[in-house]
Amino acid sequence: MPELRKDPIVGRWVIISTERAQRPSDFKHEKDEKKGGFCPFCNGNEHITPPEVLAYRQGGAPNKAGWSLRVVPNKFPALMIEGALNKKGDGVYDMMNGIGAHEVIVESPDHSLNLANLPEQQFEDVFWAFRDRILDLKKDKRFRYILVFKNHGLRAGASLEHSHCQLIALPILPKTVIEELNGSQEYYSYKERCLYCDIISQEIEDQKRVVLENEEFIALCPFAPRFPFEVWVMPKNHAAHFEDSTKHEIHNLSQIMQRTLRKLEKALGDPPYNFMLHTSPLSMANPEVFHWHIEITPRLTRMAGFERGSGFYINPTAPEVSAQFLREVDA
């Protein structure tokens, strides 16, 4: 019997379609063809990209070879860093200049490595780069939110093979973030507790949807997942802002994230996926309300007319099944 489940944060309904139940082996996806050829992110091609805004290196000059991680402005940015917002209206329509920052985090000079298979320290450095760039960009009072995300694979939106993440600083709050903030605020107003903290507490006690745990973080399949094998990674202790993470927390986050990505890679045959860092707005009046987290969404199914017309998602795999299978994968 199919089951309707309601996401307790944003109130979104999901159909867990047991009639279409699928195991990992049922999800077939075409492997991306390796194109080869010139890559602007490879070691030695630093002159092709815009000048770096951050780099981790053992030595050598900026914008030269010898780096282990590099952050550069996107050559084709969604938003531009220069200028004023210049907000205006035209009747019922609101608009402003497309001001923001759009950066690329090149995770390694090695074209052949993907994020899940980086050496442990290089993997951890990726999250240090997220933190360093957020702390720098939040000084710009034009920005209200910074979104960090990764597209892995062509179906997930990756336009270049060389593994990288992206960061976009926005002068407005994204709709998804507003929905999460509103749901969290409503719960906090009623119970004076963080909704995410209560979810974590219940999931730890229940264990059915837990994939991994360590001292400070938990990886779980959410109760009402939009996609098969969707996984959320969250700090066990309440924290509103990712960029406030300590050295120990970044280390533990990196360990659980890398193991989770390796489990997904092994279980599903290196699927296309996105992950998104959901952190608090840069100016947050009540940090007790929101709880930062990372959402990993493998792209194993396609949205069609029903999903787009209704706002519902149809997921053929229950999160309890996904979590159990991922727990059993050695990674």
Hey, which residues are catalytic here?
164
Strand, helix or coil for residue 270: coil
Helix (H) or strand (E) holding 210: strand 210-213
Could you give the C-alpha distances from 32 to 197, 217, 227, in angstroms and in order? Answer: 38, 32, 21
SS3 295: strand
Asked whether 52 and 46 are in contact (CB, 8 A), the reply is: yes
Q: Dihedrals φ, ψ of 299, to 5°?
A: -100, 80
The candidate with the shortest Cα–Cα distance to 103, out of 43, 135, 146, 158, is 146
Give the number of other CB atoms < 10 A from CB of residue 77.
16
CA distance 131 to 125: 10
**Going edge to edge, which strands form the sheet with 67-73?**
54-57, 67-73, 101-106, 164-170, 145-152, 273-278, 293-298, 231-235, 217-220, 210-213
Give the integer Cα–Cα distance in Å for 177 and 183: 10
Token pair for 128 = 């240090």
